[in-house]
Amino acid sequence: MHVGVVGAGALGLYYGAMLQRAGHTVSYLLRSDYQALNAAGLTVHSINGDFYLPEVRGYRTAEEIGPVDLVLVGLKTFANHCMIDLVRPLVGAQTMILTLQNGLGNEELLADAFSPQTVLGGIAFLCSNRGEPGHVHHLGEGRIRLGEFSGGDSERSRMLADEFSRAGVPCQAVTDLRKARWEKLIWNIPFNGLCALLNQNVNLLLGHASGKQLAGQIMEEVVAAGNAQSLSKPIDGAAFIPRMIGMTEQMDNYCPSMMIDRQQGRPLELEAIYRIPLRMAAQKGVAMPKTEMLCQLLDMEEHQ
């Protein structure tokens, strides 16, 4: 399978490297890392064992790559205004586009520009950060849940899940992608925002009684908002929330991507992770006061 990676950050580089190691041809669209990766290859520092890819197919433009079998989108959502132009040259008649981006609204953009049938979405439970150019750190988790944007079962989603799994990325095909997205938001909405706002990693946050209480309360808001979206089956918050908090407590001082974005002065993914979910909740008459306040505070911090 020829895979084109658009948005080769901590996530795109890690999954691209895993697929490449498993024998797929992977082409990376690169900007700042172009020199380092083409010159010295890519090193993955992983909890499952480090590995090194001496040859990396890095390109400066999507046109040089051309149509691929699978476009893997790992672009930060604050760059979504560039996404379609970056993806278009990679899309041929048989191309699948799989966005592993955070939050909501990404599949919709791709479906509008190409066709809904082209688009799959995936939720990556991945703790990874970029190191110096040519290095990516895989710190924990890594599994993917993917499914058709149009919903339902499909052979290709199961095939893709198998390819990822064979490559060492536990992957499951789901029939209700929207439910999977909301389940991921139950993690992203509290932890990305609170860690970014307070500049505290997830373990510091949960180590504080007020932090743990607040994270749980925000999670409850997200469960209620998700369950108002006519999911195939409601999310059972009473079981799901403690499990997510327990899983997060097992992390090793993980810094969510938004916390690192803020530390490094990058924009924050407020639209995909906060504003679109808030609008979808409001449309269903569900109040998310603490989620809204977190978004307001992050907006203030970003535009100080």
Interface residues with its own copies (CB under 8 A)?
197-198, 200, 204-205, 208, 210-211, 213-214, 217, 289-290, 293-297, 299-301, 303-304
CB of 10 to its own copies, least distance (A): 26
Q: Which is nearer to its own copies, 276 or 294 (CB)?
A: 294
| DSSP code string of the chain | -EEEEES-SHHHHHHHHHHHHTT-EEEEE-STTHHHHHHH-EEEEETT--EEES--EEESSHHHH---SEEEE---GGGHHHHHHHHGGG--TT-EEEE--SSSSHHHHHHHHS-GGGEEEEEEEEEEEE-STTEEEEEEEEEEEEEETT-S--HHHHHHHHHHHHTT--EEE-S-HHHHHHHHHHHHHHHHHHHHHHT--HHHHHTSHHHHHHHHHHHHHHHHHHHTS--SS---HHHHHHHHHHHHHTSSS---HHHHHHHTT----HIIIIIHHHHHHHHTT---HHHHHHHHHHHHHHT-
Q: Which is nearer to its own copies, 230 or 304 (CB)?
A: 304
**What is the C-alpha separation between 125 and 138, in angstroms, rounded?**
11
CB of 199 to its own copies, least distance (A): 9
- Cα-flanking dihedrals φ and ψ of residue 266, to 5°? -80, 165
CB of 300 to its own copies, least distance (A): 5
CB of 290 to its own copies, least distance (A): 5
CA of 231: how far to CAs of 2, 155, 176, 255, 282, in Å?
Answer: 33, 22, 7, 30, 16
Q: Out of 76, 184, 284, 290, pick the active-site residue.
A: 184
CB of 282 to its own copies, least distance (A): 14
Q: Which is nearer to its own copies, 145 or 290 (CB)?
A: 290
Q: Which is nearer to its own copies, 182 or 274 (CB)?
A: 274
CB of 196 to its own copies, least distance (A): 12
Q: Which is nearer to its own copies, 210 or 264 (CB)?
A: 210
Establish whether 212 is a catalytic residue. no
Residue 109: how many CB atoms within 10 A of its CB?
Answer: 19
Q: Which is nearer to its own copies, 98 or 288 (CB)?
A: 288
Q: Which residues are designated catalytic?
A: 184
